[in-house]
């Protein structure tokens, strides 16, 4: 990231036409006991979303899937990020690569399907320019004299992996992924790269993507909204950690419970090699901007929130278990899937209520409870990012 997360919002506000918004962001970024939640525009304004797309989603490392999604050469996945169509594909050499999904001839989108398997090469549906899985242009029909295929490879995007997750970055000058994620706690004990997807559910809800991240970041609402979750997990426990790339912390399972599921009892047992002190802990992390990790003693829950509009978000929820557990003949993730699908739907209803409130003239930023320190951490991070974006936009205007 080229934006400096440590930059003081107070040093940059107010400026130009964004003065009142910058002042609101400065209030969000204040210490928790004096802070107020984010200004309403950040949840409702198409202009703010366009700025986020341009300056956040086109510049940050974004998780687009797992290495297991690309089992062999030609396995691909496409993703729309900030109005850009991206193609990720495994090469004949086994390497994963990301490209703009755009033909170098006259710009046709190359691959329309969300995922799948290409047999031999990537053929453009327009004039049949044909590319290898490594992005090189292999051949064109009736080439003109002097035409050099090597001059027209697909335009690449940065791609890297972490713990089995595949990340891309549309900013060619981005900080390397490993450096960006170096602020995360060490999660090696969860052997995330050995995990395999057991289930996925896609949701679309009428709420801004940040409301989803904020809702994920606190359990102040849990006793009244999630009685099933509150039965299993003690919302008052836990500590809090943060760095430039994440915030979050653990919550304890109540005595007698071993996982977050309808029964609260793990069918598979804890992840192999997990230290005993993690047997009653569930760690929740928001990795900026839109990746949410829930580390149970026996599985990994992942949410990703992709903005579709200022007031609409696509949320992908996935359950991952150790490969040995998923491949066992009697394996079932149903207990955990049912639990989180129920909990998700309880949360989405609240997120949509908050979105409707944010569109009201009666909305004004409110105080944070100390149980919402992770929400405040996320909002502080966002306030700093948006302040930098608005200030840069004002300078460039």
- Binding region for ligand FES (CB under 6 A): 103, 105-106, 108, 124, 126-129
Radius of gyration of the chain (CA): 22
Q: Are 76 and 116 in contact (CB under 8 A)?
A: yes
**Is the Cβ of residue 120 or residue 254 nearer to ligand FES in the bound state?**
120
3-class secondary-structure state, position 396: helix
Nearest distance, CB of residue 298 and Fe ion, angstroms: 21
228 contact, one of Fe ion, ligand FES, none, CB 5-8 Å limit per kind: none
Q: Are 91 and 73 in contact (CB under 8 A)?
A: yes
347 contact, one of Fe ion, ligand FES, none, CB 5-8 Å limit per kind: Fe ion
Nearest distance, CB of residue 93 and ligand FES, angstroms: 25
Count CA within 13 A, CB hemisphere, residue 15: 19
Nearest distance, CB of residue 127 and ligand FES, angstroms: 3
Q: Which letter, b or e, does each residue of 71-85 get, where b requires 16 or more Cβ atoms within 10 Å of its Cβ?
A: eebbbbbbbebbeeb
108 contact, one of ligand FES, Fe ion, none, CB 5-8 Å limit per kind: ligand FES
**Is the Cβ of residue 133 or residue 368 nearer to ligand FES in the bound state?**
133
**Is the Cβ of residue 108 or residue 149 nearer to ligand FES in the bound state?**
108
**Is the Cβ of residue 106 or residue 254 nearer to ligand FES in the bound state?**
106
**Is the Cβ of residue 129 or residue 284 nearer to ligand FES in the bound state?**
129
**Is the Cβ of residue 75 or residue 247 nearer to Fe ion in the bound state?**
247
129 contact, one of Fe ion, ligand FES, none, CB 5-8 Å limit per kind: ligand FES
Nearest distance, CB of residue 120 and ligand FES, angstroms: 16
DSSP 28: H
192 contact, one of Fe ion, ligand FES, none, CB 5-8 Å limit per kind: none
DSSP 11: H
Nearest distance, CB of residue 170 and ligand FES, angstroms: 21
How many other C-beta atoms can be found within 10 angstroms of the C-beta atom of residue 120?
Answer: 11
Q: Are 319 and 198 in contact (CB under 8 A)?
A: yes
Q: How far apart are CA 72 and CA 136, in angstroms?
A: 18
Nearest distance, CB of residue 251 and Fe ion, angstroms: 12
C-alpha distances in angstroms, 195 versus 165, 178, 237, 316, 348? 10, 20, 27, 17, 27
Nearest distance, CB of residue 107 and ligand FES, angstroms: 6
126 contact, one of Fe ion, ligand FES, none, CB 5-8 Å limit per kind: ligand FES
Nearest distance, CB of residue 102 and ligand FES, angstroms: 9
Where does this chain bind Fe ion (CB under 5 A)?
347
Nearest C-alpha neighbor of 116 from the set 150, 78, 155, 86: 78
**Is the Cβ of residue 123 or residue 225 nearer to ligand FES in the bound state?**
123
105 contact, one of Fe ion, ligand FES, none, CB 5-8 Å limit per kind: ligand FES
Nearest C-alpha neighbor of 68 from the set 314, 321, 266: 321
Residues 6+ apart with CB under 8 A from 146: none
Q: How far apart are CA 126 and CA 134, in angstroms?
A: 20
106 contact, one of Fe ion, ligand FES, none, CB 5-8 Å limit per kind: ligand FES
**Is the Cβ of residue 103 or residue 389 nearer to ligand FES in the bound state?**
103
């Amino acid at each position: 990231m080229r934006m400096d997360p440590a930059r003081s919002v107070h040093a940059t506000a107010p400026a130009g036409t964004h003065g009142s918004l910058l002042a609101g962001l400065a209030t969000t970024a204040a210490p928790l006991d004096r802070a107020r939640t984010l200004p309403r525009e950040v949840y409702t304004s198409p202009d703010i979303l366009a700025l986020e797309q341009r300056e956040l989603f086109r510049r940050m490392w974004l998780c687009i899937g797992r290495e297991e999604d690309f089992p062999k050469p030609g396995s691909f996945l496409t993703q729309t990020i900030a109005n850009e169509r991206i193609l990720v594909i495994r090469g004949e050499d086994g390497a994963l690569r990301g490209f703009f999904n755009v033909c170098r001839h006259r710009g046709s989108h190359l691959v329309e399907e969300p995922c799948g398997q290409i047999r031999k090469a990537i053929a453009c549906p327009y004039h049949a320019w044909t590319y290898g899985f490594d992005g090189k242009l292999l051949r064109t029909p009736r080439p003109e004299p002097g035409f050099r295929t090597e001059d027209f490879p697909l335009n690449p995007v940065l791609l890297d992996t972490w713990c089995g997750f595949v990340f891309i970055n549309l900013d060619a000058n981005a900080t390397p992924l490993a450096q960006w994620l170096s602020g995360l706690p060490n999660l090696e004990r969860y052997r995330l790269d050995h995990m395999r997807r057991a289930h996925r559910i896609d949701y679309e809800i009428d709420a801004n993507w940040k409301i989803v991240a904020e809702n994920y970041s606190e359990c102040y609402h849990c006793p009244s909204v999630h009685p099933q979750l509150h039965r299993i997990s003690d919302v008052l426990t836990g500590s809090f950690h943060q760095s430039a790339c994440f915030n979050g912390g653990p919550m304890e399972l109540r005595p007698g419970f071993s996982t977050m599921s309808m029964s609260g009892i793990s069918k598979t047992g804890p992840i192999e090699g997990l230290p005993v002190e993690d047997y009653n802990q569930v760690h929740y992390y928001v990795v900026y901007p839109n990746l949410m990790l829930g580390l149970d003693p026996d599985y990994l829950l992942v949410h990703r929130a992709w903005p579709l509009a200022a007031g609409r978000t696509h949320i992908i929820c996935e359950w991952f278990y150790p490969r040995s557990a998923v491949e066992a003949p009697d394996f079932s993730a149903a207990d955990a899937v049912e639990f989180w699908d129920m909990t998700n739907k309880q949360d989405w209803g609240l997120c949509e209520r908050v979105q409707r409130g944010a569109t009201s003239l009666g909305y004004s930023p409110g105080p944070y409870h100390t149980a919402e320190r992770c929400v405040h951490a996320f909002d502080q991070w966002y306030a700093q990012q948006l302040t930098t974006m608005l200030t840069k936009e004002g300078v460039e205007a």
